[in-house]
Each structure stands twice: as structure tokens, then as C-alpha cells.
Structure 1
Amino acid sequence: MTKPAGFHRSLAHMTGTMSGILAPRRQVSQRSKAFDLLLAGALTLFFGLFSLAQEGVAGVLGVGMLAPLVWRRTHPELVFFAVSSVAVLQWLSGANLMAGNVGLLVALYAISVYGEVKYSRIALGVGGLGVLMATARYYSSSDWRQQITMMVALGALVFGVWAIGERRRTRGLYVAQLEERAAQLERDRDREAKLAVSNERTRIAREIHDVVAHGLSIMIVQADGGLYAADASPEQAKKALATIGDTGRASLTEMRKMLGLLKQDVQPDLDPDQPRPQPGISSLPELIENVRQAGLTVDYQVTGTPRDLPALLGLTAYRIVQEGLTNTLKHAGPGARTCVELDFGREMLTVVVTDDGRGAGVAPSNDPGHGLVGMRQRASISGGTVNAGPKAGGGYEVIARLPYNLPAGGNQ
């Protein structure tokens, strides 16, 4: 006869449920297995032998409620089912309560600690039913007050054992959550450290670009000037060559220091002994003097009350001025004049670099470069802005507004 489809679904569901019960709930160490074996053996020897001496052949049931406790940690649901089944046989056979019945309490505790929550609730219900069955069988001839007293006492014992197991389960889950959270925080910290190192190396790469671009711009201008002055003014040509040499050596030294930082596996900010160039506002006069020696006329003005700036803000201002002067050398053309202005306002530093040359928009160039993008990125890190473009009437202008107070998350 063909079985209905519902029968097959029910059979499959029952098979899956039993498979889940029979499967080990957790990985148990060898030490825990040895402890479970010793505990079950000790309980079986002590209470099992006591049950045999007390009940004779019926005492075998007491042994049957103790021996399965070896697997109480790996198969708590199966152990509780087995022990409860033996207890039911004890009730049906009319055997008295015996020492081996302590196995019921141990199995109930095990399922409340190691079993699934739904099976733990079922086990509590089975324990409550067992209290009613035991009271009805073993205290049926007693006074009703004694029956109620025993029912309450046995019920409190069963519920107390289950509650202790639930509390241990909850505490274990809480500890496991704390451990997982700590592990997650450690993983997040490692990721943030790697990201910080990556960002630092990217920033150093931009520093190298600025150093090389600025140094090469000066060297190219000096080389062109020396070439034209070689015949008419040998002394001027020698001076240009000397400037080229000094600029090249300085740029090479600074670049080597930065490349040394890129070779480090640790975050450079965490090692104060690593050499790291950090120019700031105080380095601007030297920068402007080098540009003047390259043949560019530069006026330098400071208004407002100068103040000490955070390292990041000072470095940002320096690089913006450096990039502005580099662009002037590249694009402004011969005879251009440049003005660098610093205005220390109440809430922000304003950096202005202007020239009266032909402007970057008309200067011939095969490589537009990344100077303006780099300036804006630097300014945004410091919470500021950069505006750049041709001036009305000719020339080019770069205006950077950098607030003194860094935004949240800004690094110095």
C-alpha cells in the first residue's frame, strides 16, 4: 500500500529531529571526557551498588539511570531521554525510590546546561510530571498534607537543579559572547592598524611626489637659465649649476628618508626614533629663498598674529605653498612675479599664492599633474578648503582656508 506524502514528511522530520539529538552538541576536550567518565563511574559504583543492595534485582534500574551519564556533556538530550525511560520502567514495575534516582537530577542538570533551550524546557516539564507520578505512587497512602509537602519538596528540588543549570548556561553564553566580542575588537584593531599603515604610506608617497616635483621644477628652471647664460655669463651659469646640485642633493636626501619610512613594517607614527621630515610654517622662508635663487621673484607677507599650529596643519600649509610655487615655476612663464600671503585670522589660517604670469590654463604641458587634487585632499584632511583658478586680469591664484581646530578623527 502506498504511504501518503504527509507520512513521508513526518518521517523525515522525525528522522531529522532524532539526528539532531544524537549529534554531539559541542566539542569536548579529552580532559572533560575523562572527568565525565570518572564522575559517571563514581556515581555508578557508589549509588548503583547501594541500589543493588537496597532493591536486589530492581536495583539494576538504578545502575541504568547512572551509567548513561558518561555522555551527559556530548549527548545531553539522549542521556536525559534514556534516564527518564528507565525511571518510567521503575515506576511501572512498582520498585521503590532508590539511590540511583540521583541520576535523574544529574541528567536534568546536564540538559539544562549543555542541551538546546527547547529540550531543556521539555526536560523541566518531564521532571514536573515525574514529581506528580512519584507522589501518586510512593505517597498515595500518606496523609494529604504529607503528600502536598513531598510534592512541593520534590518540585522545588527538580526546579532548583534545572534553574542552577540554566544559570550556568546563561553565564557560559555571556562569557562566550565576551570572548567573541574581545576577539572581534582585536580583529578590528588589527584592521585599523593595517589601514593606518596603508594611509600613512599613501601620505608619504604624496610627500615624495611633492619633494620630487618641486626639486625637479627648480632644477629644470636653473638648467634652462644656465644653458642660455653659458656663453654670455659663465658665472651665472656656474651659479645655476650649483643651485641644481644643491637642490638635487636636498631632494634626494629627503626622498631617501621618506623611502626609509616606506620600508618599515610598523606604523611610523609609533616609532619616534625614525627620521621623518615635517616642514611647517617656519620652513617657508627657506623654501621661498630657494625659489628666489631659481630666478622667480617672490614676495612673502604675514598678517595677523602668528601662532603655533598643529603639525598636520603646518605641514598642509607648507605643501600648499610649495605646490603653488612649483606651478608658478612651471606655468607662469619668464618674468612672472609671485606673492605668498599668510593671514592668521581668529579661527583659521588663510594661505594665498598668486602670480601675474600667463596662468596654468594657457601654459603648455603634457602632464596636468596631481598638484591641485593633492592640495585639496590635504586641506580636506585638516577640515579646510582650497580654491584655485585664473585671476581676473591675468595670472593665477590659489586660496586655502585652514581652520585651527582639526575635525574629529584628524591625525596630527
Structure 2
Amino acid sequence: MTGLLTARPLPARSKAFDLMFAGALFVSAGFLGLAYAQLGGVVGLAMVFPLIWRRTHPEAVFFAVSALAVLQWLANVQLQPGNIGLLVALYAISVYGDIRFSRIALGIGGLGVLMATSRYYASSDWREQLTIMVALGALVFGVWAIGERRRTRGLYVAQLEERAVQAERTRDRESKLAVSAERTRIAREIHDVVAHGLSIMIVQADGGLYAADQSPEAAKKALATIGDTGRASLTEMRKMLGLLKADEQNELDPNQPRPQPGVSSLPELIENVREAGLSVDYQVTGTPRDLPALLGLTAYRIVQEGLTNTLKHAGPGAQTSVSLDFGRDLLTVVVTDDGRGGGVAPSSEPGHGLVGMLQRASVSGGTVNAGPKAGGGYEVIAKLPYNLPNGGVA
């Protein structure tokens, strides 16, 4: 609750208007009252003067003007033009004052009607007194009701403005979160591209070094594969970095479609891995169907990461298989090999590639299980439902 002496902030233009308004009443009502009665005119001037602060201190102004009206009643001074200040103060407290003080002011206004009727119209018959009482009461209540309606409308407008500001803040916050998510996605894409390309290049470099003396043609082929893989990875990475660079000039739009690999790109990926020297068996079962871009990209990256891990850890001569099963409700992706790790030391913590697969599957509403197979080798099984978490359907 706002205190009686607590000033409301008010623009300079409004202060100037209040001063001019009170001054006009002071001149027109106050001096007019001086012409009829000296004491009444002084009281009338005193009732108009506080209206300068009617918006900054509405409660104090109303109670001050009401006290002067009681003094006028006790002194048996006739009603003066300055009594208009009572209605102005009542309107001000109903618009700008605390709502509880506003209701108290209405009660005081009703009591003032009874006091004025009993004192100033005592000589009239009861019918005339009743008519005057009803008229004055309607005037007091009407002024208060108009002010209360303006207060309610002002609060409604203030709520709308606050909601608009809150909606703008929420939009900005969601936009920043979307940009952050898009940056994270691009970073994950860059990791997948670089990790896969480097794995193929390392395998080819090791094979070319081994075959350099015995089979120069094989060494040349390995070098050609390294060059092709490096250029392809560099081109794709430049595209990803171009998106980040574009974000410095314009905000990323996660809803804007971007060309991304999908299930249809898997044969080309597997062929590149085969050229790197890894034997890969690729099978598709079930009835293939069009997949959302996110789901197709998730399946592609899971296969890419599985093959990258095979190149890194399965060892030479490992047999690898990739299978896609288009079931009724979900797509099952399986990447398996029979290697023994190629001498790579096991780690108790999951690598970035596995974490990336888990995150991608989670975004698509699916699951990923990865681990060693019984009898040797490694297996990755991903189950990706067609029904997306946000309600979209493939």
C-alpha cells in the first residue's frame, strides 16, 4: 500500500497541467467566493489550492480538502464555489489513490451529503431534502465511479503493456536459446565431419606408408583417397563455418531449412569407407519411407560415427555391417563389426562421438545402445521412432 505522503512519479508536463488547472479553479472559484463571504471565500480558496498535488498525493489532498469542508460545516459557512474541490479531490483519489482509501473516500463523500443536507437545506420539507440528498449522492457516487472506471482501464492498459514487454522478453530469450541450440548443432556437425574425415585419412596414410615400397600403385591410390577425403571434409566444414559466420551478421533461424545428409546419402558414405579399406555390408529391410530431415540426419550421423569408430578401433581386416530396418513405428539402425579394438586402450568415459549419438537420438525421441559384443567386436543399435517428440509425424 502506498503511504499518504509518498509521492507518485509524474512527468513535468503533467505537473504543469495540474498547476494550471488548480490555478484556474483558484481564480474562478476562490475569488468568486470572496465576493459573497469573506470567511467562506478563504475556505474556498484553501479547498482549491491543494489540488495542485491531487495526482502526486491524492490521499493527502482528499483528506485535507475534506477537513476544510468539515471546518466550513462547523462554522456554518454557506457552500461556496470552492466546494468543487471536494469533487475534484474525490475523483483524483479514485483514479490515482490506493483502492482502500478510495473506498473510504466514497464513504466520507456519502457522509458529507448527509451533513450538507441537514445543515444547508434544513428549512426545506422532507421531500425536497430527499430529492437534494439523492441528487448530491448521485453526483458524489457518479464522480467516484467515473474515476474508478478510469483506474480500472489504466490498470488494464498497464497489464497489457506488461504482457507485451514480457512477451518480447520471452521471444528474445527463446530466440537466444534457439541460436545457442543451432550453434551447438553446427558444432556437432563439424565434429562429425572432421572426425570421420580424419579417421579415413589416417587409415589411408598408414596403409599407403605400409604399401609404399611393395605396391606404389596402392600407395598412390591411398594418397588420392586422402586428398579426396580431405577436400570433401574441408568443403563441408567450410559450409558449417559459413553458417556461424552468417550468424555474426544475422541471427540464425533454426526453422530455416539447410541442406543436410540423410538416409539417401548413406550409400555414398559407405562407398567412401570401402575405398578406405574397410569391408562394409549394407542392408535395408522393410519398406523405405520418407523421413523428416532431423530423423534422416540423425540416422546418417549415427552410421557415420559407428563407421568412424570402426576405422579407429576395429583393427585391420575387420568386417563391418550396416543395416536399416524400416519398421511400422520406428527405424532401427545397426552398425556392427567383428574387430578387437586394434590395440586401443579402453576408456571408462564415453567418447564425444557416443555422447553425440545419444544426444541426437534423444532429440529425435529415440535411444542408442552401444557396447562390445559377446565374442568380440562392437555394436551400435539405434531405435528412432517416426513420431517426433513435438507431435510431428514422418
TM bucket, shorter chain: over 0.9
Q: Deviations over 1:253-291 (max 9, x none)?
A: 211221222231344336959xx5511111111110110
Q: Which residue of 1 aligns with 2:205?
A: 223
In structure 1, distance between residues paired with 2:253 and 2:95? 49
Q: Which residue of 1 aligns with 2:253?
A: 269
Q: Which residue of 2 aligns with 1:334?
A: 316
1:127 is the counterpart of 2:115? no
**Residues 137 and 100 from structure 1, CA distance in 2 versus in 1: closer, same or farther, beyond 3 angstroms?**
same
SS state at 2:389 partner: coil
Q: Deviations over 1:60-110 (max 9, x none)?
A: 211221121111111111211221122112112211112211110000010
> Contact 1:312–1:382 (CA<8 Å) still a contact in 2?
yes
In structure 2, distance between residues paired with 1:378 and 1:289? 24
Q: How far off its partner does 1:29 sit? A: 1.0
Q: Which runs of 5+ in 1 are unaligned?
A: 1-16
Q: Which residue of 2 aligns with 1:364?
A: 345
Size of the alignment, in residue pairs? 391
Q: Which residue of 1 aligns with 2:138?
A: 156
Q: Deviations over 1:296-333 (max 9, x none)?
A: 01111111221111110010000000001011111111
Q: Deviations over 1:367-390 (max 9, x none)?
A: 962111111110010001111122
SS state at 2:33 partner: helix
> Contact 2:370–2:379 (CA<8 Å) still a contact in 1?
yes
Q: Which amino acid aligns with 1:168?
A: R
**Residues 121 and 411 from structure 1, CA distance in 2 versus in 1: closer, same or farther, beyond 3 angstroms?**
farther
Q: Which runs of 5+ in 2 are unaligned?
A: none
Q: Which residue of 2 aligns with 1:176?
A: 158
Q: Which amino acid aligns with 1:132?
A: L
Q: How far off its partner does 1:239 sit? A: 0.5
Task: Give the RMSD, CA atoms, in angstroms.
Answer: 2.2
Moved more, 239-248 or 40-49: 40-49
1:107-256 equivalences under 5 Å are 107-256=89-238
> Contact 1:312–1:411 (CA<8 Å) still a contact in 2?
no
> Contact 1:350–1:401 (CA<8 Å) still a contact in 2?
yes
SS state at 1:268 partner: coil
Match of 1:83 among 65, 68, 73: 65
SS state at 2:374 partner: coil
Q: Which residue of 1 aligns with 2:3?
A: 20
**Residues 373 and 271 from structure 1, CA distance in 2 versus in 1: closer, same or farther, beyond 3 angstroms?**
closer
1:238-387 equivalences under 5 Å are 238-263=220-245, 264-265=247-248, 266-269=250-253, 276-359=258-341, 363-364=344-345, 369-387=351-369
In structure 1, distance between residues paired with 2:29 and 2:284? 95
Q: Which residue of 2 aligns with 1:68?
A: 50
Q: Deviations over 1:192-237 (max 9, x none)?
A: 1111111111111111111111011000100110011000000100
**Residues 20 and 268 from structure 1, CA distance in 2 versus in 1: closer, same or farther, beyond 3 angstroms?**
closer
> Contact 2:39–2:77 (CA<8 Å) still a contact in 1?
no
